[in-house]
Amino acid sequence: MDHTENDCLLIAVLSHGEMGMLYAKDTHYKPDNLFYHFTADKCPTLAGKPKIFFIQACQGDKLDGGITLANRTETDGLSSASYRIPTHADFLVAYSTVPGYYSWRNTTRGSWFMQALC
């Protein structure tokens, strides 16, 4: 597929899951199987362009009860340029939870993670 005219790729997966697996309607798969199709060697017209994946799915059955913070802080990151990039460059993968834990969502309003992104 030719992505020459596109500036980035953004994929959002909202599903159920468990540690290292995402569930689809009739199967389950590893998230790496999704990313694999968009590496620079498989999809050269996306090379050097951001490939962003938001994944709303459980990664286990533990509960993260959270904490209350008094103050918020922000930090700025510095970017660098390179003439040669790795095959798996320019990927950003954001999960709604960390490995081993289930993902929070409201049955009426949906996922706080996806709502925050929108």
**Looking at 1-118, which runs of residues are DSSP E strands?**
9-14, 17-18, 21-23, 28-29, 51-56, 60-62, 91-95, 100-101
Domains, the chain: 9-63+81-117 (3.40.50.1460)
Q: What is the pLDDT of residue 75?
A: 52
Residues annotated as part of the active site: 16, 58
**pLDDT tens, residue order, the chain (118 aa):** 899 999 999 999 999 999 999 999 899 999 999 999 999 999 999 999 999 999 999 999 898 777 776 665 555 555 555 456 677 788 999 999 999 998 988 888 888 899 999 8
pTM of the model: 0.77
Q: What is the pLDDT of residue 3?
A: 93
